[in-house]
Amino acid sequence: MYTFNYHVPKNIDEATALFEKSSEPKYLAGGMTLVASMKQRLTAPSDLIDLSKIDTLKKIILEGKNLKIGALTTHNSISKNEEIQSTISGLCDLSNGIGDQAIRNFGTIGGSIANADPAADWPAAILALKSQIETNVRIINGEEFFKGMFETILDEKEIITQILFEIPNHFTYVKFQNPASRYAIVGIGLAVYDKIARVSVTGASHTPFRASEIESALSNNFEIDSIPLNSVSSENLNNDIHASAEYRSHLIDVLTKNAVRTYTQ
Amino acid sequence: MESKVVNININGKDFKKSVRSNLLLIDFIREEIKLTGSHIGCDTNQCGCCMVLSNDISLKSCSVLAIQMDGAKITTIEGISDGDALHPMQESFREHHGLQCGFCTPGMIISAISLVNENSSPSEEDIREYLEGNLCRCTGYENIVKSIFSGAEKMKG
């Protein structure tokens, strides 16, 4: 790892001011991916701006029909939070399936979505649930957030402050995971709002997406048998050492059925 | 500021040292403090041989910078026994032969203590799930699980 300048701002204004003054800065959240990437010299920031002391970014607030999770909340704080458990318990299951205990102790929801790993779990929740990503400058609709592999709509200087989820009637996340890393080979998020189904797919492509054909079929008739087979063509899916594109297409069908079963049972 | 003075408490002792920004916590512990019980296995955040407790929660010390740990309280494998008296979890690993080569053992024991701190009566499933982040290449998991099961009982005192 190359050396860099290290800063610990106390608030967001201080963080953005430091960012502007530096030549090639990066923000640090939990660091579970960033520090590893720096060790491999995949990235070499001139300045590392550690956001971990900004406590205003760690709050979990339940407000009417919305759940707001601070960007620096760790995966383990999410999975153990009673308010989240009682409103959108599927988020607790999702966060509890990320990496391992030690990673969940430090990795954060905001860091994960800002990194936009195409095989990460959180993007499935951002897309399936009605969500908003709030930053220090604007509010972004969850559906507009992911732009590609490790790419989001965020400006370089922008800091995610909190993630808002509208509480659904039901949310579940199921994944077929890589047994070593626990990253999703395919992960399916399924949310239901007033009988309207929203289905997201992560891990399968260069960027997470909504499966619109499956959504309309399920919104029409919420039954396993109504899920159209091979509706997500293998053409644009990842083909790699872990799974072929055809296999991923098949997994989307199977995992969606599993997700639907969690609701109908 | 490519280096900074940090205050880190390790096993109850305060250390005030100037560290380079790119120094990993595991290298700080092993090279600067000379506590070599925590091991470097994969160096990629997977094997758990470098597991320590940071403010009582488990952390892979190869995956964080020492500079991030300013003000933290770190516990390594050297900090859990009381002089020559082994920690109950160490005692259980010895009794149940919870190790073969021993390289992963410090990390296994730290994870086990972290588990019992959260859940004083873990089931076999809880233990196996909790060990997701610890790899034993001698494949000695059966005895490791037995050791933790019994260690959890012993820790109740």
Among A35, A102, A182, whose Cβ lies nearest the Cβ of B65? A35
Residues A69 and A149 in one domain: yes
Q: Which of A58, A89, A65 is nearest to A162 (CA)?
A: A58
pLDDT band at residue A263, thresholds of 50, 70 and 90?
confident
CATH code at B3-77: 3.10.20.30
Q: Do A114 and A89 form a contact (C-beta atoms < 8 A)?
A: no
- Quick check: B145 contacting A, CB < 8 Å? no
Q: Which CATH number do you get for residue A201?
A: 3.30.390.50
E-strand ranges in chain B read 3-10, 13-20, 51-54, 57-60, 73-75
Q: In what order do the strands lie in the sheet with A60-63?
A: A60-63, A66-70, A160-166, A131-135, A139-141
Cα A54 from chain centroid (whole Å) = 21
**Cβ contacts of A76 on chain B, cutoff 8 Å:** 57
Residues making up chain A, counted from first to last: 265
Among A6, A100, A103, whose Cβ lies nearest the Cβ of B21? A6
- Quick check: A138 contacting B, CB < 8 Å? no
| Whole-number average pLDDT of chain B | 96
**Cβ contacts of B68 on chain A, cutoff 8 Å:** 28, 31, 50, 52
Q: Do A168 and A191 form a contact (C-beta atoms < 8 A)?
A: yes
Q: Which of B22, B21, B43, B24 is nearest to B33 (CA)?
A: B24
| Record: contact A102-B51, CB cut-off 8 A | yes
State which of A143, A166, A189 marks the end of a domain: A166
What does the pLDDT average to over B60-77? Answer: 97
Domain enclosing residue A103, as ranges = 55-166
Q: Is B61 helix (H, G, I), strand (E, B) or coil?
A: coil
The number of distinct structural domains making up chain A is: 3
Q: What are phi and psi of A66, to 5 degrees?
A: -115, 145
- pLDDT at residue B139, rounded to an integer: 79
Write out pLDDT tens, residues B24-52: 999 999 999 999 999 999 999 999 999 99
- The yes-or-no verdict on residue A265 having pLDDT over 70 is no
- Residue B86 is classified by DSSP as P
Q: Which of B89, B57, B103 is nearest to A100 (CA)?
A: B57
Q: Which of A218, A129, A126, A110 is nearest to A167 (CA)?
A: A129
pTM of the model: 0.95
User: How do beta strands B73-75 and B57-60 pair?
Assistant: unpaired
CATH code at B88-155: 1.10.150.120
Percent of chain A with pLDDT over 70: 99
| Record: contact B133-A101, CB cut-off 8 A | yes
Return the domain boundaries, chain B: 3-77, 88-155
Alpha carbons A84 and A60: distance in angstroms, whole number: 8
- Quick check: B43 contacting A, CB < 8 Å? yes
Angle at B2 between CA B42 and CA A14, to 5 degrees: 105
pLDDT band at residue B1, thresholds of 50, 70 and 90?
low
Residues A74 and A135 in one domain: yes
What does the pLDDT average to over A196-204? Answer: 98
Residues 6+ apart with CB under 8 A from A159: A12, A15, A16, A27, A51, A71, A135, A136
Q: Do A60 and A70 form a contact (C-beta atoms < 8 A)?
A: yes
| Record: contact A101-B60, CB cut-off 8 A | no
- The yes-or-no verdict on residue B85 having pLDDT over 90 is yes
Residues A17 and A74 in one domain: no
What does the pLDDT average to over B3-26? Answer: 97
Write out pLDDT tens, residues A52-93: 999 999 999 999 999 999 999 999 999 999 999 999 999 999
| Record: contact B67-A28, CB cut-off 8 A | no
Residues A61 and A158 in one domain: yes
Strand partners, B34: none
Residues A130 and A72 in one domain: yes
- pLDDT at residue B140, rounded to an integer: 80
- pLDDT at residue A258, rounded to an integer: 96
- The yes-or-no verdict on residue A184 having pLDDT over 90 is yes
Q: Do B71 and B102 form a contact (C-beta atoms < 8 A)?
A: no
Chains A and B form CB pairs within 8 A to the count of 75
**Cβ contacts of B48 on chain A, cutoff 8 Å:** 100, 102
| Record: contact B59-A28, CB cut-off 8 A | no
Residues A78 and A19 in one domain: no
What does the pLDDT average to over A204-231? Answer: 95
pLDDT band at residue A168, thresholds of 50, 70 and 90?
very high
Write out pLDDT tens, residues B114-154: 999 999 999 999 999 999 999 999 978 999 999 999 999 99
Q: Which of A180, A189, A188, A200 is nearest to A241 (CA)?
A: A180
Q: Which of B86, B112, B16, B10 is nearest to B54 (CA)?
A: B10
Write out pLDDT tens, residues A99-151: 999 999 999 999 999 999 999 999 999 999 999 999 999 999 999 999 999 99
Quickly list H helices, A107-196: 109-115, 122-128
- Quick check: B61 contacting A, CB < 8 Å? no
Q: Which CATH number do you get for residue A20?
A: 3.30.43.10
The complex's ipTM?
0.94
- The yes-or-no verdict on residue A181 having pLDDT over 90 is no
- Residue B132's CB: how many other CB atoms inside 10 A? 18
Among A36, A52, A105, whose Cβ lies nearest the Cβ of B45? A36
Enter the tokens of residue A11: 């608030």
**Residue B21 distance to chain A (closest CA, Å):** 6
